[in-house]
Structure 1
Amino acid sequence: MTRSVLVTGGNRGIGLAIARAFQARGDAVAVTHRGSGAPEGLWGVSCDITDPAQVARAFDEVERVQGAVDVLVSNAGITDDKLLLRMTDPQFFRVLETNLGGAFRTSRRAAAGMLRKRQGRIVLISSVAGLRGSEGQANYAASKAGLVGLARSLARELGSRGITVNVVAPGLVETDMTAKLPEERRARMTADVPLGRIADPREVASAVVWLASPEASYVTGAVVPVDGGLGMGH
Protein backbone atom coordinates (compact mmCIF):
# COMPACT_ATOMS: atom_id res chain seq x y z
CA MET A 1 0.00 0.00 0.00
CA THR A 2 1.34 3.42 -0.97
CA ARG A 3 1.58 5.75 1.99
CA SER A 4 1.74 9.54 2.17
CA VAL A 5 5.09 10.48 3.74
CA LEU A 6 6.28 13.95 4.74
CA VAL A 7 9.93 14.57 5.66
CA THR A 8 10.69 18.03 7.00
CA GLY A 9 14.08 19.31 5.91
CA GLY A 10 14.19 16.48 3.39
CA ASN A 11 16.06 18.43 0.75
CA ARG A 12 19.58 17.52 1.92
CA GLY A 13 21.70 15.44 4.26
CA ILE A 14 19.98 12.96 6.55
CA GLY A 15 16.53 14.17 5.54
CA LEU A 16 17.24 13.56 1.86
CA ALA A 17 18.48 10.03 2.57
CA ILE A 18 15.30 9.35 4.53
CA ALA A 19 13.10 10.71 1.74
CA ARG A 20 14.92 8.60 -0.87
CA ALA A 21 14.56 5.48 1.30
CA PHE A 22 10.79 5.87 1.57
CA GLN A 23 10.55 6.65 -2.13
CA ALA A 24 12.44 3.45 -2.94
CA ARG A 25 9.79 1.50 -1.04
CA GLY A 26 7.08 2.93 -3.29
CA ASP A 27 5.70 5.56 -0.92
CA ALA A 28 4.51 9.00 -2.04
CA VAL A 29 7.04 11.38 -0.49
CA ALA A 30 6.99 15.13 0.05
CA VAL A 31 9.85 17.13 1.55
CA THR A 32 9.83 20.59 3.06
CA HIS A 33 12.41 23.22 2.23
CA ARG A 34 12.86 26.91 2.90
CA GLY A 35 12.92 28.12 -0.69
CA SER A 36 15.77 26.03 -2.09
CA GLY A 37 13.44 23.66 -3.94
CA ALA A 38 13.32 19.88 -3.87
CA PRO A 39 16.11 17.61 -5.15
CA GLU A 40 15.60 15.91 -8.49
CA GLY A 41 12.92 13.24 -8.41
CA LEU A 42 11.30 14.50 -5.20
CA TRP A 43 8.32 16.75 -4.67
CA GLY A 44 8.79 19.64 -2.27
CA VAL A 45 6.72 22.22 -0.44
CA SER A 46 8.15 25.47 0.88
CA CYS A 47 7.70 25.72 4.65
CA ASP A 48 9.31 27.53 7.55
CA ILE A 49 8.44 25.22 10.45
CA THR A 50 8.63 28.11 12.94
CA ASP A 51 5.55 29.67 11.28
CA PRO A 52 2.26 27.92 12.15
CA ALA A 53 0.54 29.40 9.07
CA GLN A 54 3.21 27.98 6.76
CA VAL A 55 2.97 24.59 8.46
CA ALA A 56 -0.79 24.57 7.91
CA ARG A 57 -0.41 25.54 4.24
CA ALA A 58 2.26 22.89 3.65
CA PHE A 59 0.08 20.14 5.11
CA ASP A 60 -2.92 21.34 3.12
CA GLU A 61 -0.86 21.08 -0.07
CA VAL A 62 0.52 17.64 0.80
CA GLU A 63 -2.96 16.37 1.61
CA ARG A 64 -4.31 17.73 -1.66
CA VAL A 65 -1.58 16.06 -3.75
CA GLN A 66 -0.89 12.75 -1.99
CA GLY A 67 -3.46 12.40 0.76
CA ALA A 68 -3.39 12.75 4.54
CA VAL A 69 0.06 12.17 5.99
CA ASP A 70 0.55 8.57 7.12
CA VAL A 71 4.21 9.00 8.11
CA LEU A 72 5.75 12.20 9.46
CA VAL A 73 9.51 12.43 9.84
CA SER A 74 10.42 15.60 11.73
CA ASN A 75 14.00 16.16 10.65
CA ALA A 76 14.37 19.89 9.95
CA GLY A 77 16.72 21.64 12.34
CA ILE A 78 19.45 24.22 12.75
CA THR A 79 22.56 24.83 14.83
CA ASP A 80 23.99 28.08 16.19
CA ASP A 81 26.92 27.03 18.34
CA LYS A 82 28.44 29.26 21.00
CA LEU A 83 29.89 28.76 24.47
CA LEU A 84 27.41 29.49 27.24
CA LEU A 85 28.70 32.90 28.37
CA ARG A 86 28.77 34.14 24.76
CA MET A 87 25.41 32.73 23.72
CA THR A 88 22.64 35.31 23.45
CA ASP A 89 18.97 34.78 24.24
CA PRO A 90 18.02 34.97 20.53
CA GLN A 91 20.67 32.36 19.65
CA PHE A 92 19.37 30.00 22.30
CA PHE A 93 15.66 30.36 21.63
CA ARG A 94 15.89 30.44 17.81
CA VAL A 95 17.36 26.94 17.87
CA LEU A 96 14.69 25.69 20.29
CA GLU A 97 11.94 27.36 18.26
CA THR A 98 13.09 25.58 15.11
CA ASN A 99 14.17 22.16 16.35
CA LEU A 100 11.69 21.57 19.14
CA GLY A 101 8.92 24.00 18.25
CA GLY A 102 8.95 22.84 14.64
CA ALA A 103 8.57 19.21 15.69
CA PHE A 104 5.66 20.18 17.94
CA ARG A 105 3.85 22.08 15.19
CA THR A 106 4.27 19.45 12.51
CA SER A 107 3.39 16.59 14.87
CA ARG A 108 0.24 18.38 16.00
CA ARG A 109 -0.90 18.92 12.42
CA ALA A 110 -0.03 15.39 11.30
CA ALA A 111 -1.75 13.84 14.32
CA ALA A 112 -5.07 15.45 13.38
CA GLY A 113 -5.24 13.40 10.19
CA MET A 114 -3.80 10.27 11.78
CA LEU A 115 -6.41 10.32 14.55
CA ARG A 116 -9.18 10.29 11.96
CA LYS A 117 -7.59 7.26 10.27
CA ARG A 118 -6.74 5.62 13.61
CA GLN A 119 -3.21 4.90 12.43
CA GLY A 120 0.05 6.70 11.75
CA ARG A 121 3.78 6.90 12.34
CA ILE A 122 5.71 9.88 13.70
CA VAL A 123 9.50 9.78 13.88
CA LEU A 124 11.46 12.66 15.40
CA ILE A 125 15.14 13.05 14.49
CA SER A 126 17.10 13.92 17.62
CA SER A 127 20.86 13.64 18.14
CA VAL A 128 23.44 11.98 20.35
CA ALA A 129 24.03 15.53 21.63
CA GLY A 130 20.58 15.49 23.20
CA LEU A 131 21.55 12.46 25.29
CA ARG A 132 25.16 13.15 26.29
CA GLY A 133 25.47 16.92 25.85
CA SER A 134 27.87 18.80 23.64
CA GLU A 135 30.22 21.66 24.48
CA GLY A 136 29.15 24.88 22.82
CA GLN A 137 25.76 23.43 21.92
CA ALA A 138 23.58 24.13 24.96
CA ASN A 139 20.79 25.34 22.68
CA TYR A 140 21.04 22.45 20.20
CA ALA A 141 21.43 19.75 22.87
CA ALA A 142 18.49 21.14 24.85
CA SER A 143 16.29 21.15 21.76
CA LYS A 144 17.25 17.58 20.85
CA ALA A 145 16.74 16.34 24.41
CA GLY A 146 13.33 18.00 24.38
CA LEU A 147 12.32 15.85 21.42
CA VAL A 148 12.53 12.76 23.64
CA GLY A 149 10.06 14.19 26.14
CA LEU A 150 7.82 15.38 23.33
CA ALA A 151 7.83 11.98 21.61
CA ARG A 152 7.13 10.02 24.78
CA SER A 153 4.27 12.33 25.75
CA LEU A 154 2.73 11.98 22.29
CA ALA A 155 3.27 8.21 22.36
CA ARG A 156 1.14 8.04 25.52
CA GLU A 157 -1.53 10.38 24.12
CA LEU A 158 -1.87 8.81 20.68
CA GLY A 159 -1.09 5.15 21.22
CA SER A 160 -4.69 4.05 21.76
CA ARG A 161 -5.47 5.27 18.22
CA GLY A 162 -2.81 3.14 16.54
CA ILE A 163 -0.27 5.95 16.22
CA THR A 164 3.36 5.32 17.19
CA VAL A 165 5.84 8.07 18.03
CA ASN A 166 9.55 7.33 18.20
CA VAL A 167 12.92 9.06 18.17
CA VAL A 168 16.04 8.34 16.15
CA ALA A 169 19.24 9.81 17.62
CA PRO A 170 22.08 9.94 15.07
CA GLY A 171 25.69 10.50 16.01
CA LEU A 172 28.38 11.64 13.55
CA VAL A 173 26.96 11.37 10.05
CA GLU A 174 28.59 12.08 6.70
CA THR A 175 26.89 15.32 5.64
CA ASP A 176 27.93 18.67 4.17
CA MET A 177 28.50 19.93 7.70
CA THR A 178 30.87 17.14 8.78
CA ALA A 179 32.64 17.27 5.41
CA LYS A 180 33.67 20.87 6.15
CA LEU A 181 35.29 20.01 9.49
CA PRO A 182 39.07 20.45 9.70
CA GLU A 183 40.73 17.06 9.24
CA GLU A 184 42.27 17.10 12.72
CA ARG A 185 38.94 17.74 14.42
CA ARG A 186 37.19 15.19 12.24
CA ALA A 187 39.75 12.56 13.18
CA ARG A 188 39.46 13.41 16.88
CA MET A 189 35.67 13.14 16.80
CA THR A 190 35.78 9.87 14.88
CA ALA A 191 38.20 8.42 17.44
CA ASP A 192 35.49 8.84 20.11
CA VAL A 193 33.15 6.53 18.20
CA PRO A 194 33.50 2.87 19.29
CA LEU A 195 32.89 1.70 15.71
CA GLY A 196 35.65 4.05 14.57
CA ARG A 197 33.88 5.66 11.64
CA ILE A 198 31.30 8.23 10.60
CA ALA A 199 27.86 6.98 9.57
CA ASP A 200 26.42 7.06 6.09
CA PRO A 201 23.07 8.96 6.05
CA ARG A 202 21.45 5.84 4.63
CA GLU A 203 22.17 4.03 7.90
CA VAL A 204 20.04 6.58 9.73
CA ALA A 205 17.36 6.31 7.05
CA SER A 206 17.19 2.54 7.55
CA ALA A 207 16.26 2.98 11.21
CA VAL A 208 13.58 5.53 10.35
CA VAL A 209 12.05 3.36 7.64
CA TRP A 210 11.95 0.41 10.03
CA LEU A 211 10.20 2.42 12.75
CA ALA A 212 7.58 3.44 10.18
CA SER A 213 7.09 -0.14 8.98
CA PRO A 214 4.48 -2.75 10.01
CA GLU A 215 7.33 -4.73 11.59
CA ALA A 216 7.70 -1.97 14.21
CA SER A 217 4.00 -1.67 14.99
CA TYR A 218 4.57 -2.49 18.68
CA VAL A 219 7.42 -0.01 19.13
CA THR A 220 6.51 3.41 20.50
CA GLY A 221 8.16 5.92 22.81
CA ALA A 222 11.56 4.46 21.92
CA VAL A 223 14.84 6.27 21.36
CA VAL A 224 16.88 4.43 18.74
CA PRO A 225 20.54 5.51 18.65
CA VAL A 226 22.33 5.33 15.30
CA ASP A 227 25.65 6.61 16.60
CA GLY A 228 28.23 3.84 16.41
CA GLY A 229 28.11 3.54 20.20
CA LEU A 230 29.04 7.18 20.86
CA GLY A 231 26.14 7.75 23.27
CA MET A 232 26.22 4.39 25.05
CA GLY A 233 24.83 4.48 28.55
CA HIS A 234 22.72 7.59 28.07
Structure 2
Amino acid sequence: MFEGKTAIVTGGARGIGAATAELLASGGARVVLSDVDADAARATAASIDGEVTVHAGDLTRDGEPEALVATAIDAFGRLDVVVNNAGYTRDAPLHKLDDDAFQAMLDIHTVVPFRVLRAAAPHLREPAKRERAEGREVMRKVVNVSSGAGTMGNAGQANYAAAKAGVVGLTKTLAKEWGRFSVNVNAVAFGLIETRLSAAIPEQARAGLASAVSLGRPGTVQEAASAIGFLCSPWSDYVTGQVLNVNGGIQFGMAA
Protein backbone atom coordinates (compact mmCIF):
# COMPACT_ATOMS: atom_id res chain seq x y z
CA MET A 1 0.00 0.00 0.00
CA PHE A 2 2.88 2.40 0.74
CA GLU A 3 5.36 1.12 -1.83
CA GLY A 4 7.61 3.90 -3.11
CA LYS A 5 6.51 6.34 -0.40
CA THR A 6 8.75 8.06 2.12
CA ALA A 7 7.30 8.80 5.55
CA ILE A 8 8.45 10.78 8.58
CA VAL A 9 7.18 9.62 11.98
CA THR A 10 8.06 11.81 14.96
CA GLY A 11 8.11 10.33 18.43
CA GLY A 12 8.79 7.04 16.70
CA ALA A 13 10.91 5.20 19.25
CA ARG A 14 8.06 3.87 21.38
CA GLY A 15 4.33 3.41 21.67
CA ILE A 16 2.04 4.70 18.94
CA GLY A 17 4.95 6.15 16.96
CA ALA A 18 6.85 2.88 16.86
CA ALA A 19 3.71 0.95 15.91
CA THR A 20 3.02 3.49 13.15
CA ALA A 21 6.56 3.27 11.78
CA GLU A 22 6.30 -0.53 11.74
CA LEU A 23 2.92 -0.45 9.98
CA LEU A 24 4.11 1.95 7.28
CA ALA A 25 7.32 -0.01 6.72
CA SER A 26 5.39 -3.28 6.49
CA GLY A 27 3.39 -1.70 3.66
CA GLY A 28 6.53 -0.80 1.73
CA ALA A 29 7.22 2.75 2.93
CA ARG A 30 10.71 4.01 3.58
CA VAL A 31 10.53 5.51 7.05
CA VAL A 32 12.45 8.25 8.83
CA LEU A 33 11.98 7.54 12.52
CA SER A 34 12.52 10.64 14.65
CA ASP A 35 12.90 10.72 18.41
CA VAL A 36 14.73 12.63 21.13
CA ASP A 37 15.99 9.31 22.57
CA ALA A 38 18.66 8.24 20.10
CA ASP A 39 19.32 4.80 21.59
CA ALA A 40 15.63 3.86 21.71
CA ALA A 41 15.12 5.16 18.17
CA ARG A 42 17.97 3.07 16.81
CA ALA A 43 16.75 -0.02 18.65
CA THR A 44 13.25 0.39 17.28
CA ALA A 45 14.54 1.02 13.75
CA ALA A 46 16.66 -2.13 13.94
CA SER A 47 13.62 -4.16 14.97
CA ILE A 48 11.55 -3.10 11.95
CA ASP A 49 11.72 -5.13 8.78
CA GLY A 50 12.09 -2.53 6.05
CA GLU A 51 13.97 0.60 5.05
CA VAL A 52 14.17 2.74 8.18
CA THR A 53 16.60 5.53 8.98
CA VAL A 54 16.84 7.48 12.23
CA HIS A 55 16.88 11.17 13.01
CA ALA A 56 17.77 11.69 16.67
CA GLY A 57 17.20 15.15 18.06
CA ASP A 58 15.01 17.47 20.12
CA LEU A 59 12.52 18.92 17.65
CA THR A 60 11.83 21.88 19.94
CA ARG A 61 15.36 23.12 19.25
CA ASP A 62 15.94 25.62 16.45
CA GLY A 63 16.93 23.94 13.21
CA GLU A 64 15.94 20.38 14.20
CA PRO A 65 12.65 20.25 12.22
CA GLU A 66 14.54 21.38 9.13
CA ALA A 67 17.27 18.80 9.81
CA LEU A 68 14.62 16.08 10.10
CA VAL A 69 13.17 16.89 6.69
CA ALA A 70 16.66 17.10 5.21
CA THR A 71 17.36 13.61 6.56
CA ALA A 72 14.37 12.26 4.64
CA ILE A 73 15.34 13.98 1.40
CA ASP A 74 19.02 13.04 1.70
CA ALA A 75 18.21 9.40 2.47
CA PHE A 76 15.30 8.77 0.11
CA GLY A 77 15.01 11.71 -2.28
CA ARG A 78 11.36 12.50 -1.64
CA LEU A 79 8.71 12.98 1.03
CA ASP A 80 5.13 11.71 0.86
CA VAL A 81 3.86 11.28 4.42
CA VAL A 82 4.38 13.24 7.65
CA VAL A 83 3.06 11.90 10.95
CA ASN A 84 3.44 14.42 13.77
CA ASN A 85 3.23 12.18 16.82
CA ALA A 86 5.95 13.37 19.23
CA GLY A 87 4.71 14.52 22.61
CA TYR A 88 4.45 14.08 26.35
CA THR A 89 2.46 15.51 29.27
CA ARG A 90 3.14 17.76 32.27
CA ASP A 91 -0.11 17.70 34.22
CA ALA A 92 -1.41 19.97 36.97
CA PRO A 93 -4.59 21.97 37.67
CA LEU A 94 -4.46 25.38 36.05
CA HIS A 95 -3.89 27.31 39.29
CA LYS A 96 -0.72 25.25 39.86
CA LEU A 97 0.63 25.39 36.30
CA ASP A 98 3.71 27.52 35.82
CA ASP A 99 4.64 29.25 32.58
CA ASP A 100 7.29 26.69 31.69
CA ALA A 101 4.86 23.77 31.92
CA PHE A 102 2.31 25.58 29.77
CA GLN A 103 4.84 26.68 27.16
CA ALA A 104 6.46 23.25 26.98
CA MET A 105 3.18 21.67 25.88
CA LEU A 106 2.60 24.35 23.24
CA ASP A 107 6.15 23.87 21.97
CA ILE A 108 6.05 20.09 21.46
CA HIS A 109 2.41 19.64 20.45
CA THR A 110 1.71 22.75 18.35
CA VAL A 111 4.92 24.58 17.46
CA VAL A 112 6.89 21.45 16.47
CA PRO A 113 4.23 20.20 14.00
CA PHE A 114 4.06 23.72 12.53
CA ARG A 115 7.83 23.86 12.05
CA VAL A 116 8.09 20.33 10.67
CA LEU A 117 5.34 21.00 8.15
CA ARG A 118 6.79 24.37 7.17
CA ALA A 119 10.09 22.63 6.45
CA ALA A 120 8.29 19.85 4.58
CA ALA A 121 6.10 22.22 2.53
CA PRO A 122 8.27 22.44 -0.61
CA HIS A 123 8.55 18.64 -0.80
CA LEU A 124 4.81 18.08 -0.31
CA ARG A 125 3.51 20.94 -2.48
CA GLU A 126 5.92 21.48 -5.37
CA PRO A 127 5.79 17.96 -6.91
CA ALA A 128 2.03 18.37 -7.39
CA LYS A 129 2.60 21.14 -9.92
CA ARG A 130 4.75 18.91 -12.11
CA GLU A 131 2.42 15.95 -11.69
CA ARG A 132 -0.59 18.05 -12.65
CA ALA A 133 1.21 19.18 -15.81
CA GLU A 134 1.80 15.51 -16.62
CA GLY A 135 -1.90 14.78 -16.20
CA ARG A 136 -1.66 12.70 -13.04
CA GLU A 137 -2.47 13.11 -9.37
CA VAL A 138 -0.32 11.80 -6.53
CA MET A 139 -1.78 12.20 -3.05
CA ARG A 140 0.50 13.06 -0.15
CA LYS A 141 -0.47 12.80 3.51
CA VAL A 142 -0.16 14.68 6.77
CA VAL A 143 -1.47 13.18 10.01
CA ASN A 144 -1.25 15.23 13.19
CA VAL A 145 -1.80 13.46 16.49
CA SER A 146 -4.20 15.31 18.76
CA SER A 147 -6.13 13.96 21.74
CA GLY A 148 -9.58 13.78 23.23
CA ALA A 149 -8.23 16.36 25.66
CA GLY A 150 -7.86 18.74 22.72
CA THR A 151 -11.43 18.24 21.52
CA MET A 152 -13.26 17.80 24.86
CA GLY A 153 -10.90 19.25 27.46
CA ASN A 154 -9.55 17.37 30.46
CA ALA A 155 -9.27 18.38 34.09
CA GLY A 156 -5.65 18.78 35.12
CA GLN A 157 -4.44 19.22 31.56
CA ALA A 158 -5.13 22.82 30.56
CA ASN A 159 -1.68 23.07 28.96
CA TYR A 160 -1.89 19.77 27.08
CA ALA A 161 -5.51 20.34 26.03
CA ALA A 162 -4.76 23.84 24.72
CA ALA A 163 -1.78 22.54 22.74
CA LYS A 164 -3.70 19.60 21.29
CA ALA A 165 -6.59 21.91 20.35
CA GLY A 166 -4.03 24.10 18.60
CA VAL A 167 -2.92 21.25 16.37
CA VAL A 168 -6.55 20.72 15.33
CA GLY A 169 -6.69 24.32 14.12
CA LEU A 170 -3.38 23.87 12.30
CA THR A 171 -4.72 20.71 10.66
CA LYS A 172 -7.94 22.28 9.41
CA THR A 173 -6.13 25.35 8.09
CA LEU A 174 -3.50 23.36 6.19
CA ALA A 175 -6.21 21.17 4.70
CA LYS A 176 -7.65 24.32 3.12
CA GLU A 177 -4.26 25.67 2.01
CA TRP A 178 -2.80 22.44 0.63
CA GLY A 179 -5.82 20.74 -0.87
CA ARG A 180 -5.03 22.12 -4.31
CA PHE A 181 -1.63 20.45 -4.07
CA SER A 182 -3.25 17.03 -3.51
CA VAL A 183 -2.19 16.87 0.15
CA ASN A 184 -4.61 15.31 2.63
CA VAL A 185 -4.20 16.88 6.07
CA ASN A 186 -6.02 15.19 8.94
CA ALA A 187 -5.73 14.61 12.67
CA VAL A 188 -6.42 11.74 15.02
CA ALA A 189 -7.73 12.35 18.54
CA PHE A 190 -6.94 9.42 20.77
CA GLY A 191 -8.70 8.47 23.95
CA LEU A 192 -7.34 5.92 26.40
CA ILE A 193 -4.53 4.03 24.64
CA GLU A 194 -2.07 1.72 26.41
CA THR A 195 1.13 3.79 26.32
CA ARG A 196 3.72 5.07 28.80
CA LEU A 197 1.64 8.23 29.18
CA SER A 198 -1.55 6.40 30.08
CA ALA A 199 0.37 4.08 32.42
CA ALA A 200 1.20 7.14 34.53
CA ILE A 201 -2.50 7.91 35.15
CA PRO A 202 -3.49 7.00 38.73
CA GLU A 203 -5.24 3.64 38.88
CA GLN A 204 -8.55 5.06 40.12
CA ALA A 205 -8.66 7.58 37.27
CA ARG A 206 -7.72 4.88 34.75
CA ALA A 207 -10.54 2.69 35.99
CA GLY A 208 -12.98 5.56 35.64
CA LEU A 209 -11.85 6.27 32.10
CA ALA A 210 -11.99 2.60 31.11
CA SER A 211 -15.52 2.29 32.48
CA ALA A 212 -16.62 5.11 30.16
CA VAL A 213 -15.31 3.38 27.03
CA SER A 214 -18.11 1.68 25.12
CA LEU A 215 -15.80 -1.13 24.04
CA GLY A 216 -14.88 -1.70 27.69
CA ARG A 217 -11.09 -1.45 27.44
CA PRO A 218 -8.20 0.80 26.47
CA GLY A 219 -6.97 0.69 22.90
CA THR A 220 -3.66 -0.86 21.87
CA VAL A 221 -0.89 1.01 20.13
CA GLN A 222 -1.47 -1.19 17.09
CA GLU A 223 -5.12 -0.09 16.95
CA ALA A 224 -4.02 3.52 17.25
CA ALA A 225 -1.46 3.05 14.49
CA SER A 226 -4.11 1.48 12.26
CA ALA A 227 -6.14 4.69 12.39
CA ILE A 228 -3.06 6.70 11.42
CA GLY A 229 -2.33 4.18 8.69
CA PHE A 230 -5.80 4.66 7.22
CA LEU A 231 -5.21 8.41 6.97
CA CYS A 232 -1.83 7.75 5.30
CA SER A 233 -3.33 5.32 2.80
CA PRO A 234 -5.08 5.64 -0.57
CA TRP A 235 -8.32 4.73 1.22
CA SER A 236 -8.38 8.29 2.62
CA ASP A 237 -7.67 10.15 -0.62
CA TYR A 238 -10.97 12.07 -0.38
CA VAL A 239 -10.70 12.74 3.36
CA THR A 240 -9.12 16.00 4.49
CA GLY A 241 -9.49 18.55 7.26
CA GLN A 242 -10.98 15.94 9.59
CA VAL A 243 -10.37 14.87 13.17
CA LEU A 244 -10.78 11.11 13.54
CA ASN A 245 -11.75 10.27 17.11
CA VAL A 246 -10.19 6.95 18.11
CA ASN A 247 -11.43 6.34 21.62
CA GLY A 248 -13.45 3.14 21.75
CA GLY A 249 -16.68 5.12 21.96
CA ILE A 250 -15.90 7.09 25.13
CA GLN A 251 -19.25 8.17 26.53
CA PHE A 252 -18.39 11.55 28.04
CA GLY A 253 -15.57 14.08 28.23
CA MET A 254 -12.17 13.08 29.52
CA ALA A 255 -11.48 12.58 33.22
CA ALA A 256 -13.84 14.34 35.60
Interval of TM-score (by shorter of Structure 1 and Structure 2): over 0.9
Shift >6 Å, 4+ stretches = 231-234
State the match for 2:184 in structure 1. 164
- Matched to 2:163, the amino acid is S
For 2:215, which of 195, 214, 217 is the aligned residue?
195
By how many angstroms is 1:233 displaced? 9.0
CA contact (8 A) 2:82 2:141 kept: yes
State the match for 1:72 in structure 2. 82
State the match for 1:155 in structure 2. 175
For 1:19, which of 15, 18, 21 is the aligned residue?
21
C-alpha separation in 1, matches of 2:223 and 2:101: 31
- TM normalised by structure 1 equals 0.94
CA contact (8 A) 1:7 1:31 kept: yes
- Matched to 2:26, the amino acid is A
Is 1:46 aligned to 2:48, yes or no? no
Structure 1 pair 110–92 and aligned structure 2 pair: CA distance change class (3 A): same
Residue 172 of structure 1: SS of its match in structure 2? coil
For 1:97, which of 99, 103, 107 is the aligned residue?
107
Kindly, what percent of the aligned residue pairs are identical?
38
Structure 1 pair 82–168 and aligned structure 2 pair: CA distance change class (3 A): same
Long gaps (5+) in structure 2:
129-138
CA contact (8 A) 1:2 1:28 kept: yes
Is 1:133 aligned to 2:135, yes or no? no
Q: Deviations over 1:141-163 (max 9, x none)?
A: 01111111100100000000101
Residue 38 of structure 2: SS of its match in structure 1? coil
- Matched to 2:187, the amino acid is V
CA contact (8 A) 1:128 1:230 kept: no
Is 1:213 aligned to 2:215, yes or no? no
Long gaps (5+) in structure 1:
none
By how many angstroms is 1:187 displaced? 1.6
126-135 vs 52-61, greater mean Cα deviation: 52-61
C-alpha separation in 2, matches of 1:176 and 1:79: 11
C-alpha separation in 1, matches of 2:16 and 2:208: 22
State the match for 2:38 in structure 1. 36
C-alpha separation in 2, matches of 1:12 and 1:56: 22
